[in-house]
Amino acid sequence: MAAPRRDTRGIVDAAELFARVRFRRHEPAEPLRPYLEHYWLIDWDLTQPYASHVVPHPSVNIVFQRYAGQDPFGEVAGIGLDLFTQKLEGRGRVCGIQFRPGGFRPFAPGRPLSSLTGQRLRLPEVLPGSESAVAAVLDPDDEQARVAALDSFLLDLDPRPDPQATLAATLVDRIRADRAIRHVGEFAEAQGMTVRALQRLFSAYVGVGPKWIILRYRIHEALERAEAAESVNWATLAADLGYADQAHLVRDFTATVGVPPRAYASGHQPS
């Protein structure tokens, strides 16, 4: 596995977020790398409330959280189908684990990942006996100690390699890397699978279907292009991403992000 990603895909108005909070990614211990994308750490000390927005990846996250005026807690966040908004105020800290698509299943082998989709469940509901991990992860001020606590927490769960989980992760990686993959039927055939077999695999090991993943990565790329460029030719971008026309891109972008792409590029963020 390569070092943690440096892109901002999925983060709405990443520059504004990074100006408000300290955001870092860390690589997990080597035995955990087949299952994880990275750890992500956020700390903030704000004088005014701020709302962060994320278009979720097709990944399960475990999130240890401490907010002003609340007891700290951990939760398992299944794949979010909609824009995720989190209000931040005062002082706080979050330590997150982003699993690779398919990577969470070896930690909860009896649970189809579709049962977590759209859900945010307290950590002990999914991983019994994990209560003590909350303080172990959130209490240290030294972030390397927090990373070590995350490693220890996951290694103690003793995940076992699962060939089906590995296959699911490999197929999602192909979709993420290859913008030419646009149709589920053609993709399934290229993998020597039926559409139904591919859908069953993704439901059990990823949590969403292959069509949803294709569309979500299109929106991530559109977001990143809008962040990076002063002017975006939306018709050309729609064609690059495999849309039939610009109107379909505008529809999907607006439904996912909450504002049309031109408004987003002009600085009008979702409220």
The rounded distance, in Å, linking the Cα atoms of 219 and 252 is 8
Confidence band, pLDDT 50/70/90 cuts, at residue 230: low
What is the average per-residue pLDDT within 147-174? Answer: 96
Could you report the per-residue pLDDT of 92-117, keeping only the tens digit for each? 999 999 999 999 999 999 899 999 99
Is the predicted pLDDT of residue 228 greater than 80, yes or no? no
Question: Where are the domains positioned within the chain?
Answer: 14-156, 163-265
Give the confidence band of 229 by pLDDT, cuts at 50, 70, 90.
Answer: low
Lowest mean pLDDT segment, chosen from 70-74, 129-133, 240-244? 240-244
Residues 226 and 261: beta-carbon distance below 8 Å: yes
pTM given for the model:
0.91
Question: What are the Cα distances from residue 139, in Å, to 59, 148, 198, 212?
Answer: 26, 12, 42, 37
158 burial type by CB count under 10 A (0-12 exposed, 13-18 middle, 19+ buried): exposed
Q: Name residue 23's amino acid.
A: F
Q: Which phi and psi (to 5°) does residue 38 adopt?
A: 180, 170
Q: 20-29, 53-62, 120-129, 227-236 — which is least confidently predicted?
A: 227-236
Q: Could you tell me which CATH class the domain 163-265 is placed in? A: mainly alpha
Structural fold of domain 14-156: Immunoglobulin-like (2.60.40)
Q: What integer pLDDT is reported at residue 1 of this predicted model?
A: 45
- Give the percent of the chain with pLDDT over 90: 75
Q: What's the pLDDT tens digit per position in 16-35?
A: 999 999 999 999 999 999 99
Q: Which of 57, 47, 50, 51 is nearest to 96 (CA)?
A: 57
* Whether residue 268 has pLDDT greater than 90: no
Assess whether pLDDT exceeds 80 at residue 3. no
The three-state secondary structure class of 75 is strand
